[in-house]
Structures are given as C-alpha cells and as structure tokens.
Amino acid sequence: MSNTMKGPGIFLAQFAGDAAPFNSLPAITKWAASLGYKGVQIPSWDGRLFDLEKAANSQAYCDEVKGVCADAGVEITELSTHLQGQLVAVHPAYDAQFDAFAPPSVHGKPKARQAWAVGQMMNAAKASRNLGLTGHVSFPGALAFPFLYPWPQRPDGLIDEAFTELAKRWKPILNAFDDAGTDVGFEIHPGEDVFDGTTFEMFLDKLKGHKRCCINYDPSHFVLQQLDYLAFIDIYHERISAFHVKDAEFNPTGRQGVYSGYAPWKERAGRFRSLGDGQVDFSGIFSKMAQYGYTRWAVLEWECCLKHPEDGAAEGAPFIASHIIRQTEKAFDDFAGGTTDRKTNRRLLGLS
C-alpha cells in the first residue's frame, strides 16, 4: 500500500449545474479528469449527479457509478452530506434559512426535516459501504452557535446541554458508519457547533471518543478565525480523515476584523480564494500531512469571490499535484551509516 497522499481530487458541489458538462456524472467526471484530477468527491444531495437512496439500496447502481467514474479515469474520494448533516441539528433561529437544504415536503416542519436528515445520513452510510469507501465528509449541525459570543452571559450548563444533545443525535449515525467501515470527517466550520479544536474535543468527549468521529481538515476556515492551522495538524492528525484543499486570506483593517462587519464576500477582511491566491501555507500543510503519514485524498474545494470557477478548477489540479509529497522509505543519510550491534554501542558509550 502506498504511503503517499492521494490526489488531486475535486469536490463537485460548486461546479455542478444545469448545462453540460456539469449536469451529469459521466460528463462532469470526464471534465474533471481532463484537468488532471484523479478523484471526485460527490455531493450526495445533487440528483443531477447521484441518487443517494438508490445507492443505499442497490449494489448494482453503486457498481454502475463506480464504472462511470472509472471510465472517465477518476475514483470516488468520498460522498459528501454537508447539507443533510447540517440539518441533523438546527437552532430555530436558522429554520427558515436551512429549509432550503431539504425537500419542500418538510419545510416549516423542523422535526420532520430532522428525521429526513437522519434518514439521509443512514442512507449515506449504506451507500458508502456499497461503494467501498472508507471515508465520508459532512457537517455536524448546530444548536449552540447563536450563543457563540459570551454576551449576554450564557446560563450555566447551556453549552454542555447543547453538546450532549448533538452527540445524542449523532451517535446512532456514527454507529451506522462504523458498521459500514467508514470514517465521518466533520468539516470544522463556523456556523457549526464544532468550529475549532476546543469544540471538536467537546463533541468527541460527549461521544466517548467514538472512533468514526473524525475531521475533514480545511485550513481556509482557520485562517478566517485566526487559528494556527499548522499546530492544529500536530494536535489532531490522528483524527484527520479527509482534506479539503482551500485557500483564504485575512486582511484586517481599521473598519473590520474577524467578524467582517456584515460585508459581502468581496469586501470582507476574511475571504476565500482560489489555490495560490490566498495566504495559506500549503507547503507547510502538505509537509505536516506527510510527516504524520496521511495517505487519503487531497480534494480541491473551490470557493473564491473573485476568480471564475473553471479557472480555479484548472489551476487547482496542478497546484495540488505539485504539493503532494511522495514519502520516503529511507533516511537521507543512510549512505553514511554502518552495521552496529550491542557490543559496539556499549563500546561507543564507554561502557565496555
């Protein structure tokens, strides 16, 4: 088995559309392969590309999907359920906004919407198993996020209650993914209750260290929070199961900082950018990922407020490919070494 990261991959969500070649799986996978991508991350909610319910219940359909990808020259990196995972836990303040993530039949019905979302996640576990995928990516949702800033003072126990409930909702889902042999990489993201390392630890603690509770590492969200994204890898590398390669920049001014004053994306202090156009130290990231033996996929997630998406996609494949480090199997100074034994070692230490 190779000890080198796979890639480049591309998350198809931001590129899917109603016009060719972005409106069907055969066409979009061929487009991705033509740019140099080796893998595709499939948005499971987009019926133009994928039928999640069918994939959960039909091995033949999953074999067909894998065949379509293979014919194009790509593999499936993971399925994504970011939209459905978001709906596993929604604070009422966001009900109207998040209804758009679900079918009209459950709009205005929070309990029915949540039940639909849980069903979607269970289907995603079955589909991942049928596709032979060991990784999955999603959002955890949020109950406490409206209380992010500690003013007014939060009542004692409020955050603990939120994370207890969040874990209660996710444990059976994670158990289903465990049965499928698939890790769930939660994207650490503002708007989720799990938005940094501290909140991930709170979530994991409530789940009693569930082995399938993992991280989809995306440095762009950490730049916008001013979190040390390289140290994050040092701390959490054992839980990183997926990698979104996404760039960002943070340029605070006298008028705005991390919260960016409700400004539109082009005018925010913190902005997502195409690969190479932002401030993320990708050489440092890929080096640390290699250091800790990350061998799963490096997947472009393109979100830029300036550049055209097709240009971002075209530039992304060679950018990722040039950063992947083929891990060495020997030390660079092996040529200068020699054979040793315990007797020699003791003599060198003056112990003979």
Looking at residue 196, its pLDDT comes to: 98
CA distances 123 to 39, 116, 166, Å, are 22, 11, 20
Query: Residue 329 — pLDDT band, cuts 50, 70, 90?
Result: confident
Q: Is residue 1 part of a domain?
A: no
Question: Which DSSP symbol is given to 141?
Answer: -
pLDDT by residue (tens digit) across 38-71?
A: 999 999 999 999 999 999 999 999 999 999 999 9
Helix, strand, coil fractions of the chain, as percent rounded to 5: 45, 15, 40
pLDDT by residue (tens digit) across 224-253?
A: 999 999 999 999 999 999 999 999 999 999
Q: Is residue 163 part of a domain?
A: yes
Residues 337-352, buried b or exposed e (16+ Cβ, 10 A)? eeeeeeeeeeeeeeee
Taking the CA of residue 262 as centre, how many other CA atoms within 13 Å lie in the half-sphere pointing to its CB?
0
Asked if the bond preceding 110 is cis, omega within 30° of 0, the reply is no
> Quick check: pTM over 0.75?
yes
Q: Is residue 193 part of a domain?
A: yes
Q: Is residue 69 part of a domain?
A: yes
Which residues constitute the domain of residue 100? 6-348
**How open is the CA angle 137-245-288, to the nearest 5 degrees?**
100
Do residues 276 and 247 make contact, with C-beta atoms less than 8 angstroms apart?
A: yes
Looking at residue 236, its pLDDT comes to: 98
Asked if the bond preceding 140 is cis, omega within 30° of 0, the reply is no
Looking at residue 338, its pLDDT comes to: 73
CATH code, domain carrying 129:
3.20.20.150
Q: Is residue 247 part of a domain?
A: yes
265 vs 329: which has the higher pLDDT: 265
Looking at residue 157, its pLDDT comes to: 98
Domain count within the chain: 1
